[in-house]
Amino acid sequence: MTSLFDPIKIGDIALANRVVMAPLTRNRAIAGNVAGPLTAEYYRQRAGAGLIIAEASQISPTAQGYLDTPGIHSPEQIAGWRKVTDAVHEAGGKIVLQLWHVGRISHVSLLPAGTVPLSSTARRAEAMTFTAEGFVPVSTPRALRDDEIPGLIDDYRRAACNAIAAGFDGVEIHAANTYLIEQFLRDSVNDRNGPYGGGIANRARLLLEVAQAVSEAIGAGRTGLRLSPMTTFTAPLDSDPQALYGYVVDRLAPLGLAYLHVIEGETGGTRNPEGKTFDYDALHRSFPGAWMLNNGYSRQLAIDSVAAGQADLIAFGRPFISTPDLVRRLRDDLPLNELRADKLYGGGAEGYTDYPTLAD
Ligand code: PHB
Closest CA to 130 of 111, 112, 110, 103: 110
For residue 113, the model assigns a pLDDT of: 97
Helix (H, G, I), strand (E, B) or coil at 145: coil
Name the residue at shortest CA distance from atom 2 of ligand 1. 25
Ligand 1 test: best mutation among 177, 233, 294, most atoms within 8 Å of CB?
A: 177
Q: Which residues of the chain have pLDDT under 50?
A: none
Residue 17 lies in a domain: yes
Output the domain CATH number for residue 197: 3.20.20.70
> For residues 255 and 220, is the Cβ–Cβ distance under 8 A?
yes
Q: Classify residue 142: in a domain, yes or no.
A: yes
Q: Is 62 in the pocket of ligand 1 (CB under 6 A)?
A: no
Sequence-ordered alpha helix ranges (H) in the chain: 37-45, 75-90, 149-165, 180-185, 200-203, 205-218, 241-252, 280-285, 299-307, 318-322, 326-331
Query: Is 348 part of a structural domain of the chain?
Result: no
pLDDT of amino acid 267: 98
> In the chain, what is the straight-line distance between the N-terminal and C-terminal CA atoms, in Å?
33
Q: What is the pLDDT of residues 295-343, one digit of tens each?
A: 999 999 999 999 999 999 999 999 999 999 999 999 999 999 999 999 9
Residue 222 pLDDT: 98
Q: What is the pLDDT of residues 173-201, one digit of tens each?
A: 999 999 999 999 999 999 999 999 999 99
Question: Does 3 fall in a domain?
Answer: no
Instruction: Give the per-residue pLDDT at 173.
Output: 99
* Alpha-carbon span 346 to 135, nearest angstrom: 13
CA distance 120 to 142: 8
96: left (phi over 0), alpha (psi -120 to 50) or beta: beta
Which residues neighbour 199 within 8 Å (Cβ) at sequence distance 6 or greater?
Answer: none
Instruction: Return the pLDDT at 136.
Output: 97
Query: Is 214 within the bounds of a domain?
Result: yes
Residue 359 lies in a domain: no
Q: Of 65, 50, 91, 56, give the one whose Cα is nearest residue 163.
A: 56
Decide whether any atom of ligand 1 lies within 6 Å of the 33 Cβ: no
User: What's the mean pLDDT when you consider all of the chain?
Assistant: 98
Cα–Cα distance measured from residue 318 to residue 340, given in angstroms and rounded to the nearest whole number: 10
Determine if ligand 1 sits within 6 Å of the CB of residue 190. no
pLDDT for res 187: 98
Q: Could you give the CA distance from residue 327 to residue 24 in angstroms, rounded to a whole number?
A: 17
* Ligand 1 site, residue 56, Cβ cutoff 6 A: yes
Q: Is 43 a catalytic residue?
A: no
Ligand 1 closest atom vs CA 66: 2
- The answer as to whether 350 is a domain residue is no
> Is 93 a domain residue?
yes
- 130 CB under 6 A from ligand 1? no
Looking at ligand 1, which residue's alpha carbon is closest to its atom 1?
Answer: 25
Q: Identify the active-site residue in 43, 179, 196, 247.
A: 179
Domain total of the chain: 1
Q: Supply the range of the domain harboring residue 49.
A: 8-343
